[in-house]
Structure 1
Amino acid sequence: MKVLITDEISDNGLLPLTEDPRIHIDKKLGLSIPELHKIIGGYEAIITRSGTLVDKALLDCADNLKIVARAGVGIDNVDVDAASSKGIIVVNAPYGNVNSAAEHTMAIMLSLFRNVPMANTSLKGGDWKRALFTGCELKGKTVGIIGLGKVGGRVARRCRAFEAEVITYDPYISEKRADDFGVKLQPLEDIIRFSDVITVHTPLNDETRNIISSDSFKGMKDGVVIINCARGGIINEAAMLEALESGKCAGAAFDVWSQEPPKTDVLQKLIAHPKMLVTPHLGANTFEAQKNVAVDVSKEIVNYVDGRPLENAVNIPRFDPDQMEHMKPFMQLVSILGDFISQLAPPNPNKVTFTYNGQLARFDCAPLSVSGLAALLNHCTDQEVNMVNASLIAREMGIEVESIRSTETDSFSSLITLSLESAQGRRTIAGTLFEGTPKIVKMRDYAIDFRPEKDMLVINYQDRSGLIGKIGTVLGEADVNIGNMSLGRQEKAGEAMVVFSVDSPVDEETLQKVSEAVSPKFIKAVHLDQV
């Protein structure tokens, strides 16, 4: 196998390749796009970091390419869909720089607490000042960690070693997993309210973008310290600057930025602020981390050559070819169920159960469970969750996964039921196929019947005359058109569940108005990418 390396990769980490006589390596750095396009057809594998754009144009020239290996976590520079369409495997190295990122978090946190950068500059400038740089101890402080994943968990352990009180928010981690780290799960508002230090360790997505906003700062302690070694944009940078300038925040340390290199006026002012400690995205920049990610992707290429399973593949579905066509519509159905319930259920699930009834239960349903699990988990990690790694990620989160099959069924030829259990109880959703189209037929204990759409509104309320009309009025005033409505209830004038399919997303302001109009027990706007 011929392997092309286009970015600086640790030579020590490449030993699994260089020691394998079946593999020939060419390291060609600094290639122009035309040069890369011209030679890529002669290679079966390419190893990159973030400096090489593996886009559709490149892949169209890669006639013999079998595997793209990204030596790092992020795959933003790789067009995974284009690779998948050509049967090219994409692998990454999601674990190699975890320790590096955790240690950098501690480094800038402690440097900020002890005024190390300013004291260093002062002494090198010829001054001998001590009182000016009096710092604080981490011991006894309350550290709030948002995101208890691979990096956040390590930060939690290190903060506890410094005798800090650690509280954490992560709606996708089970209570058992939090106990393993010796910390307690808390609501986000409690992290905001009680923490002396807040550090974020989540992926950047629609749920986490601006998770710390100007409103968040208003609820924080005076003198709070903010740390971001995760992704730029998780903390609203304009709000961060305002909190520093007002004195609400005693200091902040950022390694990452919403724009890299930072060029906007807000970012320039933030970086220049005297209470700000900054580094240029160095979290993964250690010799050890660079070696680790190189080793990880090198081993994946050797696994491919040997025909062994790939541990960190981003885009490999696993089907029995004979079942492929039959399972495809059920794959979409279970993915919709997973995506749907992940947006509705309480946080911190302990167990996920997939139940297959009817004719479907005669087949191997393992691919369905993994597909549904991937859709369920895909909102909450800093790596792509797919059929290859979903089960591993669930185990890391402390989530038990169970699959049950039974050929017995009451009303449907085939039925998939997905149940989520947490400390707050059990939530259930069930679906079937009607003429090949996914339909949801049960939510909690309510019999319901609707076809999932891209945007929906789910409301659980005490059924009373006129409430549906009030909901329609509020949505109409917001210019949100209702496409369909499905109502489930167990008795007249009792508790009801209603699902609206809408032609456009329902924003927070409209949700609040609907809440004021009907006083629901539960209300949630749902967006599905699977339909």
Structure 2
Amino acid sequence: MKILIIDEMHESIMPMLQKEGHEVIYSPEITRDEILASVDIYDGLIIRSKTPMDRALLERATNLKFIGRAGAGLDKIDLEYMAEKNIKLFHAAKGNRDAVAEHALGMLLSLFNNIGKSDREVRKGIWDREGNRGHELAGKTVGIMGYGNMGKSFARRLQGFRVNILAYDKYKMDFGDDLVQEVMWEKVKAEADVLSIHLPLTSETRNFFTLQELKSFAKPFWLINTARGEVISFKTLNEALDQGILRGALLDVLENEKFQKFSPEQKAEFEKLASRDNVLFSPHVAGWTYESYEKINKVLAKRIKKTFKQ
């Protein structure tokens, strides 16, 4: 098959695909206009998030057999059109699930133990032990919303911390085991000390976490979001933190990740978030490790080979 790669990928992707006899064009600098002009000659596209795989583009991809998404999120892909045209979709959540899980746990332990705050203070000559007294995970109840690759991997990383794990997934059943208790959403809200979000971005999940939804939790809790920023706004986060509904927030993703395109309200709300010691940020890198960069390729190449084997 003739395959176009439109985003930067680990160099291993080329030999993996060429080994199976595919013609691979690696073009991470290609523009959307250039993709539109040439997409009709390709059997496969491998993408990250450069440009939406919307109907306008897919209608021109008259020979397309598959799209390989080097990551987990599918919110920029017209899944309905792909199903209508029988275009296969491969995504590589298994390739970065370990990275996401480790990152989420690392952020949680860092905030619980004031690592960032105390590091900044010590560098300034401030030796404040009481002001940096931490929390232990042991004995806490951790809620996981979304029990796919990422949620399950995060649950596994919690083994050994003596926590109670409650998992809710609207679209999965019978996944409970010795490690995780499968529960309804109401039980998560009744018992969670920590909530980790592992949801895709859909019309159903966008802005799901309103202030009213957060108020329905039985007690103040820490929020981890390594999924999609659009499930909760800056404004809601600030209101929940101000009111003590949230004890802290760990954010690898933001409702708007392009600082230069913040609205005036977003700018003000983000600056307020950024001033808080109980909020920890990272720049959408939870799944972005050196190891996952290569593992994603292996997952995609394996799925392409299995589906189109001679």
TM-score normalised by structure 2 residue count:
0.84
Question: How far, CA to CA, are the matches of 1:102 and 1:281 in structure 2?
Answer: 13
| Aligned residues of 2:104 and 2:154 also touching (Cα < 8 A) | yes
* Matching residue of 1:485: none
> Is 2:221 aligned against 1:224?
yes
* Matching residue of 2:182: 185
The one-letter code of the counterpart of 2:274 is: A
In the TM superposition, 1:38-437 aligns within 5 A as: 38-84=37-83, 88-174=87-173, 176-178=174-176, 180-220=177-217, 223-235=220-232, 237-261=234-258, 263-264=262-263, 265-266=265-266, 267-269=269-271, 271-274=273-276, 275-307=278-310
1:203 CA drift (Å): 3.0
Question: How far, CA to CA, are the matches of 2:58 and 2:305 in structure 1?
Answer: 22
Q: Structure 1: give runs of 5+ residues left out of the alignment.
A: 308-531
The one-letter code of the counterpart of 1:139 is: A
| Aligned residues of 1:196 and 1:221 also touching (Cα < 8 A) | no
Question: Post-superposition, which runs of at least 4 consecutive aligned residues in structure 1 deviate over 6 A?
Answer: none
The one-letter code of the counterpart of 1:145 is: I
| Aligned residues of 2:146 and 2:199 also touching (Cα < 8 A) | yes
Query: Structure 1 residues 5, 192: CA separation in 2 closer, same or farther (over 3 Å shift)?
Result: same
| Aligned residues of 1:14 and 1:294 also touching (Cα < 8 A) | no
**Per the alignment, in what secondary structure is the counterpart of residue 100 of structure 2?**
helix
Question: How far, CA to CA, are the matches of 2:218 and 2:59 in structure 1?
Answer: 54
* Matching residue of 1:4: 4
1:209 CA drift (Å): 4.4
| Aligned residues of 2:14 and 2:24 also touching (Cα < 8 A) | no
Q: Percent identity?
A: 32
1:63 CA drift (Å): 4.7
Query: Structure 1 residues 234, 35: CA separation in 2 closer, same or farther (over 3 Å shift)?
Result: closer
1:171 CA drift (Å): 4.3
TM-score normalised by structure 1 residue count:
0.52
**Per the alignment, in what secondary structure is the counterpart of residue 198 of structure 1?**
strand
User: Residues 319-361 of structure 1, C-alpha deviation per residue, up to 9 Å, x if partnerless?
Assistant: xxxxxxxxxxxxxxxxxxxxxxxxxxxxxxxxxxxxxxxxxxx
Query: Structure 1 residues 124, 30: CA separation in 2 closer, same or farther (over 3 Å shift)?
Result: farther
Query: Structure 1 residues 249, 92: CA separation in 2 closer, same or farther (over 3 Å shift)?
Result: closer
Question: How far, CA to CA, are the matches of 1:76 and 1:169 in structure 2?
Answer: 21
1:93 CA drift (Å): 2.2
1:2 CA drift (Å): 2.5
1:74 CA drift (Å): 2.3
RMSD of the TM alignment (CA)? 2.8
The one-letter code of the counterpart of 1:277 is: L
1:47 CA drift (Å): 1.2
| Aligned residues of 1:211 and 1:236 also touching (Cα < 8 A) | no
Larger Rg: 1
| Aligned residues of 2:44 and 2:64 also touching (Cα < 8 A) | yes
1:236 CA drift (Å): 5.3
| Aligned residues of 2:233 and 2:255 also touching (Cα < 8 A) | no
The one-letter code of the counterpart of 2:141 is: T
- Greater strand fraction, Structure 1 or Structure 2: 1
**Per the alignment, in what secondary structure is the counterpart of residue 285 of structure 2?**
coil
